[in-house]
Amino acid sequence: MISRPTDSTATGDDRAEAIDKAANLIEALPWLSRFHGRTVVVKYGGNAMVSEELRVRFAESIVFLYYAGLRPVVVHGGGPQISAMLDRSGVESTFTAGLRVTTDEAMDIVRMVLTGQVNREIVGLVNRHGPFAVGMSGEDANLLTAERKSVLVDGEPVDLGRVGEITGVDPGAVAALLADGRIPVVSSVARADDGGVYNVNADTAASALAVALGASKLIMLTDVEGLYADYPANTELVSRLGVDELKALLPTLSAGMLPKMEACLTAVQGGVPQAHIIDGRVPHSLLLEVFTDQGVGTMVADEELEAALLAGDRPRSWRPHDNRTDHTDGGRP
């Protein structure tokens, strides 16, 4: 028998605080019901990866999602860590049109940092709470395939080196881990058909994987509150956008926000009911988005898919043996 100690010093304020906590838990009830058993892909990046406190809080949030019955998948980059290691190694960091130019020499460092350092750190933080997280690279089991990416700068093509554009997703290994009750943690490195490897944008990788898995949500952590309607004044936060509204806004977006919103658009057009941009600098912002009525950040949604999701339509059965690109699971209604 477990007994609870009697605290004669407890006050009315203590009881009121406890009641408030209970009310917060009850607020989460409908969201727990709607998202139980569903897949949520979380892109992890920005300052949340640098601050030790935020890193710990992020891992706690992922474990909370897991214990609440959701199936989280983490996709991460590691820009600050890559830049730091390149500096220590004496390799110059070069950016063109906001994208890192990755030489063959730099790619070795990128691969080492993303898969050997950042990935292991995330897995370790999550696994403080139990044997849940399994680290993997986009190279593993041909999860992500890419080809060389080039961009136009002032009308001229620019070679970004070992920077890739995702051309294929084989989610079978991730699906198998989810079916086994694990939390996949994926670094944004992709294989090439020629046997090489590419550094790919983590926003794009998360979006592509969310579509391939049939996820219910894509959530991307950033260093801003969300999408602002009055950039650069940043006083008016857009809480919700439809697909057509976002398409109209894309030409006006800043270079930093554009790839994130394009990733959200691609995910929703690919069948993910909801995609979110949230502030990773706020502890447990992930939980605030998933489990509260107000939510946080900016959401892009497809009304028809979202209606089915919120109505509680149950997912189709999980097929871990089916590793086609159009593989679906418990996420998509």
Q: CA-CA distance, 137 to 184, in Å (whole number)?
A: 10
pTM of this structure: 0.86
Q: Which two tokens stand for residue 155?
A: 């009308």
Q: Tell me the residue ranges of DSSP E strands in the chain.
A: 39-44, 71-76, 94-96, 99-101, 133-137, 144-153, 156-169, 183-187, 189-192, 197-200, 217-222, 227-228, 237-238, 240-242, 274-279, 298-301
- Among 46, 1, 10, 123, which Cα is nearest to 281's? 46
* Residue 221 near residue 280, CB atoms below 8 Å: yes
Domain assignment present for residue 22? The answer is no
Q: Per the annotation, does 24 bind a ligand?
A: no
Q: Which two tokens stand for residue 128?
A: 């403080």
Domain that holds residue 96: 29-313
Domain assignment present for residue 232? The answer is yes
Q: Per the annotation, does 100 bind a ligand?
A: yes
> What is the residue type of 267?
A
> What is the residue type of 320?
P
Indicate if the pLDDT at residue 320 is higher than 80.
no
Our count of domains for the chain comes to 1
DSSP tag of 45: -
Pairwise pLDDT comparison (66 vs 99), residue with the higher score: 66
Q: Given pLDDT bands bounded at 50, 70 and 90, which one contains residue 159?
A: confident
Domain assignment present for residue 219? The answer is yes
Indicate if the pLDDT at residue 326 is higher than 50.
no
* Residue 244 near residue 268, CB atoms below 8 Å: no
Q: Per the annotation, does 78 bind a ligand?
A: yes
* Residue 197 near residue 162, CB atoms below 8 Å: yes
| Residues 219-224, mean pLDDT to the nearest whole number | 93
| Residues 150-169, mean pLDDT to the nearest whole number | 88
Indicate if the pLDDT at residue 129 is higher than 50.
yes
Indicate if the pLDDT at residue 332 is higher than 60.
no
Q: CA-CA distance, 147 to 126, in Å (whole number)?
A: 32
- Here the CATH number for the domain that contains residue 145 is 3.40.1160.10
Domain assignment present for residue 13? The answer is no
Q: Per the annotation, does 199 bind a ligand?
A: yes
Domain assignment present for residue 254? The answer is yes
Q: CA-CA distance, 28 to 30, in Å (whole number)?
A: 6
pLDDT single digits (tens) 183-198: 999 999 999 988 899 9
Domain assignment present for residue 2? The answer is no
Q: Which two tokens stand for residue 102?
A: 């990755």
Q: CA-CA distance, 241 to 238, in Å (whole number)?
A: 7
Instruction: Give 37's contacts (C-beta < 8 A, 6+ positions apart).
Output: 69, 70, 71, 315, 330
Give the pLDDT confidence score for residue 313 in this predicted structure. 61
Alpha helices in 139-231 (DSSP H): 172-179, 202-213
Domain assignment present for residue 5? The answer is no
Q: CA-CA distance, 47 to 104, in Å (whole number)?
A: 27
Domain assignment present for residue 329? The answer is no
| Strand 227-228 versus strand 237-238 pairing type | antiparallel
| Residues 126-155, mean pLDDT to the nearest whole number | 93
Helix orientation angle between 172-179 and 202-213, rounded to the nearest 10 degrees: 70
